[in-house]
Structure 1
Amino acid sequence: MPTTDSPTGLDPALAAQRLREEGPNELGISQRRTLRDMAWDVVTEPMFLLLLGAGAIYLAMGDAHEAMILLGFVVIIMAITVLQERRTDNALNALRDLSSPRALALRGGTLVRIAGRDVVREDLLMIAEGDRIPADGTLLQAHELAANESMLTGESEPVAKQPADKVFAGTLVVSGQGLLQVTAVGRHTELGRIGQSLDTIALQASPLREEMARLTRKLVVIGLSLCALLVALFWALQGDGLQAVLAGITLAMGVLPQELPVIMIIFLALAARRLAAQQVLTRRLNAIETLGQTTVLCVDKTGTLTQNRMAVAALCVAGQELDVQNLPAAADGSALPDAFHELLEYAVLASEIEPHDPMEQAFHRLAADHLVDTEHLHPAWSLAREYELSPQLLAMSHLWRDGTSAHDTVATKGAPEAVADLCHLPDAERAAVSAQAARLADRGLRVLGVAKARHHTQDTWPDAQHDFDFEWLGLVALADPLRPEVPQAVAQCRQAGIRVVMITGDHPRTARAIAAQAGIANDRVITGDELVHLPPQALADQVRQVSVFARIKPHQKLALVEALKAQGEVVAMTGDGVNDAPALKAAHIGIAMGQRGTDVAREAAALVLLHDDFAAIVLAIHRGRQTFANLRQAMVYTLAVHVPIIGLALLPVLFGLPLVLAPLHIAFLE
């Protein structure tokens, strides 16, 4: 097994052999339906079972021509269903190929770039800032390494990594670099195990389909009873057994509207085609009819209601607060008051040179707008040392060297309370900082503290950030802006009788503020910690009233969906991470994001938003309501048409006349 003492990686021949024996590094999610699965769903529809039964009776009676025509209806509907699902799967496969990560592997002592699917156990992989990790592994080397594991945990804060720590497939490296040894690939990774766990969650049948099943069961009992009665009556009156059976089948087919599944499939396929034009991919056709009955829409905050693109909203220095969201750009700094130049300068210095973290990107964008032609940006300086964020100290520092000064420059940023602690602020100043940070958080902003220090170039670098003599500079508040279409879309949902529920892992204050901006009822916010202590009845009472849930753990999303369903709600749920997949599958309609969504989430969902557009959900619901209304009208019309058909099948027998209709005639009429 390779080690840090011999970092040569796997022999290419051994890697190729292992790839053949253990298969590619793919999830192999069981949610991908085979041709047989799709066909089986059609054949097991109650109406089609009767159609198959009628065809079988025709065959037993030697009338193969009529039997083949009846069975042809089954084949046509099966073809429509399979074609729709195949088209959707092809689109998802293309999306999957585009998003598949590549890997820099050490094989035979040489670094080679390979496809993520070709990674095997015990491969050595070099990872760096911006890389998507293709497999689970153990770190052999790590330098200032941090990973965003939100797709697994739901927590957006980067996780610092040290040698011997575990890293997981699908997570994103946001800083540093490292060398990992692969311990699991494909379905054996944490990502794959979550995908496989979806097998324990049953797909939710649509309410209309359940209603049709109940109607069908009643009609089957009525139809078979009338069929048996008519066969006995015909036989007794006319003594012709063959004609008696035909009369019974004719009446049964007249009672049972076999064309309803045909109508449903065609209506849903047409609706799916229209939704595809609006960049909404339909993975399961019955989700469209269910959309029309949606009563609760559960949405994630980040990336669904918001743009998932951080921007600096405010700067705070010495009690002064500056709103920078509408500040005109001026490269010479004239639009940005001088008092705030140093704060922005050190926020940039505390960030990576080429950042991948959204907050650090926001600092760089603001500095590019206001500090390019000033002395506050330092492209010639070199980064000499980094101090990582840790669970014990939620702050990180960069030590910079300009090559001419006798002192190095130290810049730090982090949680306001952590940076205040590094600066050893007096209690009064610390309380003022805390109060200002709380006011900003109440507006839905994410708040960071910034500080600076100096260090003599001749002195040894300290081991801990606490050993620097930091000076407090101020607060930077960032916003993940609300998508512009969200308030109107939420208002449309409310007018349509749909309650929008926000479920997020963020702070309650942030959740309340974003809910207010979106127009979501936020009278009360419940946290994940509060949910843990709620008995089932209390939970049921709360989900009926509360529309904002904060600090929610991944498994609690599933519990909330189940609680809403238990109250009789028809639940639609949006999500993008692996941790969302169980809730997506359990909901009546799971809606996954196509651009930032994971494979597991997309496979578990019934609908995929190709452009991650919240307004598209409202359009889809509107389309679903139209389809549902059309289906109901079609069902009423179809059942009404069957009344004279039943009369034409029954009256000739009662009056001793020849049969007017045969089963084949009814099939064509339907």
Structure 2
Amino acid sequence: MPPHDTRPSTAPVTTPVADTTADAHQGLGSAEAARRLAIDGPNALPGSAPRSAAALLWDVLTEPMLLMLLAAGGIYLALGDRGEALFLLSFVFVVIGITLAQEHKTQRALESLRDLSAPRALVMRDGQEQRIAGQDVVRGDLLILHEGDRIAADAQLIQGQLEVDESLLTGEAVPVTKLPAAQADQATAAAAAASTAPPQSKPAPSGGSAAHTVASVGALFASTVVTRGVGLARVCATASHTAVGRLGADLATTAEPASALQQGSRTLVRRLGAIAVVLASAQVVLGWWWNGGALLDSLLSGIALAMAILPEEIPVILTVFLALGAWRISQQKVLTRRVTAVETLGAITVLAVDKTGTLTMNRMAVAELATANARFTPEDAHLPETFHLLTEFAMLATPGDPFDPMEKAIQHFGHQWLAGTEHVHDGYESEFEYALSGDILAMTRVFASDEPDTHLLATKGAPEAVADLCHLGAAQRETIRRQVESMAERGLRVLGVARGRWRGPALAPDQSPPWPQSQHDFDFEFLGLLALADPPRPEVPAALAQCRRAGVRVVMMTGDHPATARAIAQQVGLSARPEVLTGAELEALDDAALTARLRHVDLCARLTPAHKLRLVQLLRASGEVVAMTGDGVNDAPALKAADVGIAMGERGTDVAREAAALVLLDDSFARIVAAIRQGRRIDDNLRKAIRFTFAVHLPIIALALIPTLLQWPALLLPVHIVLLQLLIDPTCAVVLEAEPEAPGLMERAPRAVGDSPFALAALGYAVVQGLGIAVLLLWGHAWFNAQGASAAQSRGVVFITLVLSVMLLILAQRNVARPALWSVRSPTPWLWRITAAMLLMLAAVTGLPWLRGLMGLALPGTVGMVTVAALLALCLAWLELVRLLGQHLGLVRR
């Protein structure tokens, strides 16, 4: 066929309707958009607004710890100790201040994440394409819509053709085809005429021109998803005026379910709370009946024990660590869409990644053309006539305004080398398209030609699929295979290109042909091969080496040719194993055989999204914790199925981003490794905080309970516990959260899935630490009391030692691989601050006579300070002994 016979019909493209306030193609001006935004307000549905200060204050006032503090203050007033009562009640304001500050810090971190994860829209403003926040879209804006976009507002399609998933509103899973009003009217008339014609021998393919889909006028609705096509739409309603807004605000927000860690902590806190109630009640009865003490004194003792037992820090630890952890990960250009994913990062064992854009730069360029007898590279001076048809039909097989970087590269190459020739067909639209599918790894676009009832076909796809469509002989297939292997071994991505003609039945001018059901029903002519280059990212080899050291296996899952996958893997050092598992081989294996094969394969090629989903499911079923990257609409099921779905922020679709737990803001593989590193650090510090919490509560519980059982004077009163709490709370939520990355963090094996910080082994280690200190303090009190010291002096020795042992417990949790005092060599600003606060509190309590008397303490004297020093030395020795035993028994992770 001569080249001029291949040109599509010159039917005019529908012209957008003019707008009174903006040029149809220029969009709104910035000033007009700002004016409309001020009038209509943000394009956002009523959602979960940040909690007000009053709500936060109410939550604080109803916390069990604060209620017990108020009860203790009331009892002191009843006993006539106004000074102690006022002193104790003054701490109510301190506790409220600390809690509100922590809540504010957490809320601010979550708000910053919400701002980052807010939906975005591509609009025309001032004649330029701009990516803006979805809440800034206004009436009259021109939305530029591509496959995978979530529509930001109700709009009317004015140019292009889309298929839209409206199941959110209608419950109907079949996408609806959207056309501009004029085209929809024509299509409806054509479909009605076709319905009166005799039935064809073959049904229309899925997504074809059935009347119930093609005749849909282009009304687009907010929150629905573009599944196919490119279009331009004008916004007609925003926020609560949209269809989804009228249905109710509950569609706009969904509460994130609690993670396994949060559920486990709540169960533990409830159980400990019940234990606290039982033991505190027993304490009151024993103090009153067993010791013959006053009822109010016994109540104070019971309140002190309940305050000592209740681990109210644990919910705070989880909330603060996960929220601030997600914020810290966002500083690595990785957006956390679901905060609960933070706790899974440290357990990832397999990282399944795509090649294009993750391991490579995603800057594709056509690197080579090949026919049976010739070869061309862009280094040549001009494009020979031999390659004009190949380039022309590669362009025709590609949308004019493509979203995919590969298709953009094809259009750029064609316009560069064919400019000014009859082979460039800008502005012409295809009449029908056959999309890439799992059965046929090729796509075909159908155009009208100059001849009546004759259509031109342009096809591109996997070379073997295109060769099959062309029904080539064995010799031709072998030649193509060798050419493809040669290109792929150099890391090039290779496509086959073909053309064809199809003559449909004679129809009226307004009728649409009954398109064949499959691309196999056409006759094609193979034109040649087109190869694209996408250089690897320079940071990938170092990041892959980190993954290997961290025990994270990286598996490439790509749709490219096996040789291309192998070449890129060798260039970046992904795997030394050359074996590649292909989609065709995958389909031939059952689940058991495929699971066994996956243990020895790191490269998977020629995969469809369905293949990726199956691989992810099998990896998880075999006990792996899988992170999966993806960018397309069809990747969403695999992203959801993975333990941690990771979407591409730059080239990914809205559907992929919403299905994923993490979004890479710059699509770099190194960012994934940085997120895993941060996840491990967060998990490590969270375990330190939980160990510290349980270890520090044990001596406090013992000092509140044992004196009653032994009929000793009370050693700890509510006021002492409140002072200790002022040290413990910031240590858990601030000091240990800000701990830097532990040495060798990325040389450890991934955390086991069942390795919970609330597991018996982990808590047992902390309990043994705390019990040892409790025994030493009680023994120290008994010995010092036997030396003739007063109850106030003995209480002073115990209290000073207890406060200083809190510092020892902080040091002991920082790095379980080294002695506690070793970590003094690497202090952090927050460690210095908590140390200063501790020393300042001790100086005030022991140095101010009125405060010392208010707390029932006395100066310990020389013998008392020697006792304090000896007890601290014994506590330090005990912590070191527990550390060594814990490492030997495997109770703590190095």
Q: TM-score, normalised by structure 1?
A: 0.66
Root-mean-square deviation (CA), in Å?
6.1
Q: Are 2:625 and 1:611 aligned?
A: no
**Cα distance between partner residues in 1 of 2:602 and 2:410:** 33
Gaps of 5+ in 1: 1-6, 13-22, 106-110, 146-157, 402-407, 454-460
Amino acid at match of 1:356: P
**Cα distance between partner residues in 1 of 2:633 and 2:49:** 22
SS in 2 for 1:171: strand
Q: Out of 678, 687, 704, which is 1:632 matched to?
A: 687
Q: Return the offset for 1:237.
A: 0.7
1:409-428 aligned at under 5 Å gives the runs 412-415=458-461, 416=463, 428=475
The match for 1:85 is 110
Q: Out of 120, 145, 158, which is 1:126 matched to?
A: 158
The match for 2:859 is none
Q: Write the deviation string for residues 78-132 of structure 1: whole angstroms up to 9, x where unpaired.
A: 3333222222212333745726599999xxxxx9957965536xx5x33328x89
Q: Write the deviation string for residues 123-143 of structure 1: whole angstroms up to 9, x where unpaired.
A: 5x33328x8979764456389
Contact 2:355 2:557 in 1 (8 A): yes
In the superposition, relative to structure 1, how do residues 212 and 573 fare at CA in structure 2: closer, same or farther (>3 Å)? farther
Q: Out of 496, 503, 506, which is 1:448 matched to?
A: 496
**Cα distance between partner residues in 1 of 2:337 and 2:410:** 40
Q: Write the deviation string for residues 543-573 of structure 1: whole angstroms up to 9, x where unpaired.
A: 7666556676767766765655555544434
Q: Write the deviation string for residues 415-462 of structure 1: whole angstroms up to 9, x where unpaired.
A: 456766887765533553355446656867241224699xxxxxxx99
In the superposition, relative to structure 1, how do residues 53 and 568 fare at CA in structure 2: closer, same or farther (>3 Å)? farther
Q: Return the offset for 1:177.
A: 10
1:48-447 aligned at under 5 Å gives the runs 51=65, 54=68, 65=89, 70=95, 73-93=98-118, 95=120, 98=132, 117-119=152-154, 125-128=157-160, 137-139=176-178, 141=183, 162=209, 164=211, 166=213, 169-171=224-226, 204-206=259-261, 209=262, 212=265, 216=269, 219-220=272-273, 223-224=276-277, 226-235=279-288, 236-263=290-317, 265-268=319-322, 270-319=324-373, 324=377, 328=379, 332-333=381-382, 338=384, 341-342=387-388, 345-347=391-393, 350=396, 354-356=400-402, 358=404, 359-367=406-414, 377-378=421-422, 389-390=433-434, 394-396=443-445, 412-415=458-461, 416=463, 428-433=475-480, 436-437=483-484, 445-447=493-495
Q: Which structure would you say has the larger Rg?
A: 2
Contact 1:139 1:178 in 2 (8 A): no
In the superposition, relative to structure 1, how do residues 201 and 637 fare at CA in structure 2: closer, same or farther (>3 Å)? closer
In the superposition, relative to structure 1, how do residues 101 and 538 fare at CA in structure 2: closer, same or farther (>3 Å)? farther
Q: Return the offset for 1:248.
A: 2.7
The match for 2:542 is 488
Task: Report which structure shows greater RCO (CA 8 Å, sep ≥6).
Answer: 1
Q: Write the deviation string for residues 256-286 of structure 1: whole angstroms up to 9, x where unpaired.
A: 4433444555555554444333322344545
**Cα distance between partner residues in 2 of 1:33 and 1:541:** 47
The match for 2:725 is 667
Contact 2:446 2:455 in 1 (8 A): no
Amino acid at match of 2:497: G
**Cα distance between partner residues in 2 of 1:533 and 1:38:** 59
Contact 2:348 2:625 in 1 (8 A): yes
Q: Write the deviation string for residues 304-361 of structure 1: whole angstroms up to 9, x where unpaired.
A: 3444454324322225556x4xx54x6x42xx7x586546654566467954264443
More strand by share: 1
**Cα distance between partner residues in 1 of 2:54 and 2:667:** 31
The match for 1:458 is none
SS in 2 for 1:611: coil
Identity of aligned residues (%): 37
Contact 1:493 1:618 in 2 (8 A): yes
**Cα distance between partner residues in 1 of 2:611 and 2:120:** 29
**Cα distance between partner residues in 2 of 1:431 and 1:388:** 32
Q: Return the offset for 1:496.
A: 0.9
Range with bigger deviation, 423-432 or 623-632: 423-432
- Between the two proteins, the alignment pairs up a number of residues equal to 597
1:456-495 aligned at under 5 Å gives the runs 473-479=527-533, 481-495=535-549
Q: Write the deviation string for residues 629-664 of structure 1: whole angstroms up to 9, x where unpaired.
A: 333334434444334433432354334314533153
Q: Write the deviation string for residues 499-529 of structure 1: whole angstroms up to 9, x where unpaired.
A: 2344556677766666565554574637499
Amino acid at match of 2:301: A
Contact 1:102 1:113 in 2 (8 A): no
Contact 2:266 2:315 in 1 (8 A): no
Contact 2:393 2:459 in 1 (8 A): yes
**Cα distance between partner residues in 1 of 2:495 and 2:697:** 67
Amino acid at match of 1:98: I
Range with bigger deviation, 361-370 or 290-299: 361-370
Q: Out of 690, 696, 713, which is 1:657 matched to?
A: 713
SS in 2 for 1:250: helix
Contact 2:372 2:479 in 1 (8 A): no
SS in 1 for 2:366: strand
SS in 1 for 2:132: helix
In the superposition, relative to structure 1, how do residues 596 and 70 fare at CA in structure 2: closer, same or farther (>3 Å)? same
**Cα distance between partner residues in 1 of 2:350 and 2:401:** 38
Contact 2:350 2:625 in 1 (8 A): yes
Q: Are 2:627 and 1:572 aligned?
A: yes
Contact 2:397 2:443 in 1 (8 A): no
Contact 1:396 1:414 in 2 (8 A): no
**Cα distance between partner residues in 1 of 2:537 and 2:679:** 23
Contact 1:298 1:500 in 2 (8 A): yes
**Cα distance between partner residues in 2 of 1:201 and 1:216:** 21
Q: Return the offset for 1:616.
A: 1.1
Contact 2:496 2:529 in 1 (8 A): yes
Q: Return the offset for 1:234.
A: 1.6
Q: Write the deviation string for residues 564-599 of structure 1: whole angstroms up to 9, x where unpaired.
A: 555554443434445555655565544333334444
The match for 2:772 is none
**Cα distance between partner residues in 2 of 1:564 and 1:467:** 38
Contact 1:26 1:186 in 2 (8 A): no
Gaps of 5+ in 2: 1-14, 21-39, 78-84, 122-130, 145-150, 167-174, 188-204, 215-219, 502-508, 729-894
